[in-house]
Chain A
Amino acid sequence: MVVTLKNIFHSLLFLILCFFSIAGIYVLLSAEFVAAVQVLIYVGAITVLLIFAIMLTAQLYSPSIRQSNEQVIPGLLVVGALLVVTLSVLGRTSWRISTQGIEGQSTVSIGKALLTTYVLPFEVVSLVLLAALIGAIIIARKE
């Protein structure tokens, strides 16, 4: 849906639906914290961003504009091929599956990990975020 609808706003709404579904999947996978973060950030921030953007670039309603370009068929082919390949690989690989469950609360573990083993990436990512946002503001400034 997301990728095919003509009306971009509608596809955005389907995207929101996607996000929520994925959050649910995370919960299924005993990743509560991630689910929460997903909802918070994706649905909250990014979706709002996209809505604003769509509003600002406002020719979304004209029906005469073709939404998909000429690469559809080749794109389909290639993607299909990829899909087939990936799935087959997945199928053949013997994954080492552990049968244990997650110990304790995932949130606590994540917190621990973030501030010990992964403290450097943590900091860096913060900086990246900062830079990106400042950059975005600067780029989009009106002269």
Chain B
Amino acid sequence: MLNLYHYLALSAILFCIGIFGVLTRRNAIGILMSIELLFNAVNINFVAFARFINPQEITGQVFTIFVITIAAAEAAVGLAIIILIYRQHKGVEVDRVNIMKW
């Protein structure tokens, strides 16, 4: 039987993997992909709660829809920026984007 704990654990693991990816990946697109992972983890969380805590309320799922929407928007903008960076540096390593340093 799957119960809430499992789903939450899954969500947490996925979240942590996502963060690891954000901190670690050199490729900008890789970072974006990790961020998508983060969103998904969060979504699982929402839906699980919606299902297990109070099934009368469908709030969790509604919220999940919103999150997906926003994720899409953000992915679009992020990629636009990456395109620009690519044009500037001819490469997408985030190491290179460091002019805001000392």
Contacts and interface: CB of A to CB of B under 8 A. Distances in A.
Interface string B73-92: 11111011111101000011
A118 B17 CA distance: 32
Specify the main secondary structure of chain A where it touches its partner.
helix
Interface in A17-52: 18-19, 22, 25-26, 28-31, 33-34, 37-38, 41-42, 45-46, 49-50, 52
B51 A100 contact: no
Contacts of B37: 2-3, 15, 18
Contacts of A2: 17, 21, 33-34, 37
Interface residues of B, number: 71
For chain A, the bracket of interface size reads: 35 or more
B12 A83 contact: yes
B84 to A, nearest CB: 6
Interface string A73-102: 001101110110011001100011110111
Interface of A: 2-4, 8, 11-12, 15, 18-19, 22, 25-26, 28-31, 33-34, 37-38, 41-42, 45-46, 49-50, 52-54, 56-57, 59-60, 65-69, 71-72, 75-76, 78-80, 82-83, 86-87, 90-91, 95-98, 100-103, 106, 109-110, 113-114, 118, 121, 125, 128-129, 131-133, 135-137, 139-140
